[in-house]
Chains A and B, each alone.
Chain A
């Protein structure tokens, strides 16, 4: 087993609001083999996103595999409605840094 940095497997890692109350993340993998490795690793669970974003797991609204775009999507409840008092990022476009710390366990030789 070795740990591969997410940025080796994915060429898009992003966050954006999905409406004013939800924040959605997309990890789009470089090719089918990278996507398959990610899915096979089993690490992309609600618990992963809950831990990265320091929220209760019930605030992770879904983790979805989307093969047509070789992507994994996760959506969480926003800390506050977009643009409310205390906002740091109206569009939610720069909240992806914790995702960049993800490493994917992969079999040796894969």
Chain B
């Protein structure tokens, strides 16, 4: 029975992995090495601002370990969701790192670069074909026009295309995570269900092991009926529970996981403990559906300035809600002509983490206050935050005895200009052709 071995060094490119775990992984003769380089979990900022949430030196370190070893052994390397958010600035950023490494390590190879950006005009023309994915409104022309950046998650087909064109390394923009790990297998004719299920688990590297870790390696061996998994670090092991529980992680439905072109149906998946550290999975199916890609887009919400302060006076803390209301009223009065700003107080020690949902909003002896202002310009955010912070600092509340100042400000300057703030505004499906995303093949190094 034919087999295919896939090595996943780390959950996100740049998170790192022990060098020994990676070298141990190589002893299993992987046919392909896959790395997921991005996620929407860190929030909308990175897509909007065009920067990676992963650190450049950390990404370079990981690639410096992976690329030379892979190339010397003729193992293709596939990287999806480049630079964290997978739009063209992120793709360029990640490609530059690879090109630097090619010079430093005297590497010479074919690099396929696959962008995931969606042109706004194309979206406007196809607006009525889109549908909301989740509890949000249907797409409108205004939303598309105000979007700063829009990407679509590609499936495995563009990777197959790149491999067929002889790519040694593939760097893709936003990708459906399992596709990074399943593409090579699907190209060779392995059944899609097990390939994609294995990809779904491998994209998180050793998270599905016990103890789990996002910065340690996992090996998957695919065959025609299923796959086996084991972490390369001998201190970790895969168990039925650790692998089965992985379908729960960050997903709304562990049985049916939609992706481009269909859904992974795990209702018949069976997990077996093969040995102390290895789990075998059979019964994963891929159910076909109309080919649709998931769109992700963000808009600029404004600019943020914030101030952090501690409150320690018990008389103040006892009437904090009232004081914050009065301060808010003062801000509204002073800025009655200002439009479109938002003032948010976070009160740590009361309900900072859960807001109104906090079941036990009982303050202790101190409260951590964040004054968070988002306004249409950075200057406006600065001005409003400054006014609010100084009003709060000197506010005379009933019964006050600590009359020198209400806030323990840890920093000078007290107000931190946090820059642009983005919000997700597009999370929709768009029908597409699987070969919608075109690889560009480059010769890297000399």
Chain A contacts to B: CB under 8 angstroms: 12, 16-22, 24, 26, 28, 53-54, 59, 61-62, 64, 66, 68-71, 73, 75, 77-79, 81-91, 94-95, 97-98, 101
Mask: chain B, 344-370; 1 = CB below 8 Å from A; 0 = not: 101000001111111110000000000
B248 near A69 (CB under 8 angstroms)?
A: yes
Instruction: Report if A101-B250 is in contact (Cβ < 8 Å); known contacts: A22-B135, A64-B255, A82-B424.
Output: no
From B43, B244, B250, B342, give the contact of A69 (CB < 8 A): B244
From B269, B423, B427, give the contact of A68 (CB < 8 A): B269
A19 near B342 (CB under 8 angstroms)?
A: no
Instruction: Report if A62-B352 is in contact (Cβ < 8 Å); known contacts: A19-B427, A88-B346, A97-B359.
Output: no
B423 near A83 (CB under 8 angstroms)?
A: yes
B135 near A61 (CB under 8 angstroms)?
A: yes
Residues of A within 8 A of B136 (CB): 21, 81
Question: CA of A26 to CA of B251 in the docked complex: distance in angstroms?
Answer: 10
B344 near A86 (CB under 8 angstroms)?
A: yes
Residue of B nearest to A73 (CB): B248
Residues of A within 8 A of B301 (CB): 84-85
Interface flag for B421 (CB, 8 Å): yes
From A70, A78, A90, A95, give the contact of B354 (CB < 8 A): A95
> What's the minimum C-beta distance from B301 to chain A, rounded to whole angstroms?
5
Residues of A within 8 A of B421 (CB): 85
Question: CA of A19 to CA of B432 in the docked complex: distance in angstroms?
Answer: 21
> What's the minimum C-beta distance from B292 to chain A, rounded to whole angstroms?
15
A54 near B135 (CB under 8 angstroms)?
A: no
B424 near A98 (CB under 8 angstroms)?
A: no
Residues of A within 8 A of B133 (CB): 19
A90 near B427 (CB under 8 angstroms)?
A: no
Residue of A nearest to B133 (CB): A19
Residue of A nearest to B136 (CB): A21
Residues of A within 8 A of B427 (CB): 19-21, 81
Interface flag for B44 (CB, 8 Å): yes
From A16, A24, A54, A83, give the contact of B357 (CB < 8 A): A54
Question: CA of A83 to CA of B301 in the docked complex: distance in angstroms?
Answer: 11
B241 near A19 (CB under 8 angstroms)?
A: no
B44 near A20 (CB under 8 angstroms)?
A: yes
From B44, B244, B252, give the contact of A24 (CB < 8 A): B252
Interface flag for B302 (CB, 8 Å): yes
Sorted nearest first, the 3 A-B pairs with minimum C-beta distance are A83-B43, A68-B244, A69-B245
Interface flag for B412 (CB, 8 Å): no
Interface flag for B441 (CB, 8 Å): no
Question: CA of A26 to CA of B356 in the docked complex: distance in angstroms?
Answer: 22
Question: CA of A53 to CA of B344 in the docked complex: distance in angstroms?
Answer: 21
Can you show 25 pairs from A to B with CB atoms below 8 A apart? Answer: A16-B250, A17-B41, A18-B250, A19-B134, A20-B427, A26-B245, A26-B248, A66-B254, A66-B255, A70-B241, A73-B252, A75-B252, A77-B135, A81-B44, A81-B423, A82-B40, A82-B41, A82-B43, A82-B44, A83-B424, A84-B301, A85-B302, A86-B342, A87-B43, A101-B359
B424 near A84 (CB under 8 angstroms)?
A: yes
Question: CA of A49 to CA of B42 in the docked complex: distance in angstroms?
Answer: 25
Interface flag for B271 (CB, 8 Å): yes
B253 near A84 (CB under 8 angstroms)?
A: no
Residues of B within 8 A of A85 (CB): 301-302, 342, 344, 374, 421, 423
Question: CA of A89 to CA of B42 in the docked complex: distance in angstroms?
Answer: 10
> What's the minimum C-beta distance from B378 to chain A, rounded to whole angstroms?
15
Question: CA of A40 to CA of B245 in the docked complex: distance in angstroms?
Answer: 21
Question: CA of A24 to CA of B250 in the docked complex: distance in angstroms?
Answer: 7
A90 near B43 (CB under 8 angstroms)?
A: yes
Residues of B within 8 A of A68 (CB): 240, 244-245, 247, 254, 269, 271
> What's the minimum C-beta distance from A87 to chain B, rounded to whole angstroms?
8
Question: CA of A27 to CA of B239 in the docked complex: distance in angstroms?
Answer: 18
